[in-house]
Amino acid sequence: PSSLAATITSPLIAHCEELADNIWTTSSDLEFTADMDDGEQVVAMSFLVSIPQNAIISSASIQFAVFQNTTGFTRVRFFSEADLDPMPFTDTIGNVTDRIFSNSYVDWEPPNWLGIGSQTADQRTSNIAPIIQELVMQRNWTAKSRTINIIAKRAPTDFGKNTRSAYSGDSGSYAPILTVTYSGIGSVFDSAATTWSEEETETSIPYL
């Protein structure tokens, strides 16, 4: 397997929409799934990826870092945005929640987060491969670099008000990293860091 690590390319990395009709396109932290002061949130994260069409996604996860110590049960549900050429996020109300989400979703129940700056398995999502697989299997998907949006919201089976507070994308080494492992036949993926052909490849992708 080969690996690719990209760098942050844009300061507009946090897209948080409260269900109370407020939205931010920048934020120091990402709160899953409620702002401690203002209520429930939906969080969108943008990543730039290069994955061949019809590649088999064996695993994918996002690594976060603790921004604030948080405890108590919470369940987060992840989707991808179904649009292969998503529009940029704006501060218009509904700009996140009115988008079309993937049919697939993955739930995550993170344990207590203790230790500011911690980046361990406790801050790593469950396997979100299904929501990325749904995108790369689409007819119009190409291996060119493209933006995908990952959406996180409270799972319907989570009735509490607990949250997890992670560093946002403008936080240097604490920024979220999407890691994707995939394999396939007949496609070649070239980048400055790796060449891919008929092999399993692990790609680490930071926030846009």
Per-residue pLDDT tens digits for 24-65: 666 678 888 776 565 678 888 888 888 888 888 888 899 999
What pLDDT shows up at residue 172? Answer: 73
Q: Please give the Cα distance from 58 to 40 (Å, whole number).
A: 32
pTM for this entry: 0.81
Q: Which residues pair with 49 in a beta bridge?
A: 146
Across the chain, mean pLDDT equals: 76
Q: Please give the Cα distance from 164 to 113 (Å, whole number).
A: 7
Q: Which residues pair with 79 in a beta bridge?
A: 151
Q: What's the chain's Rg over C-alpha atoms? A: 16
Per-residue pLDDT tens digits for 136-154: 999 899 877 778 888 998 8
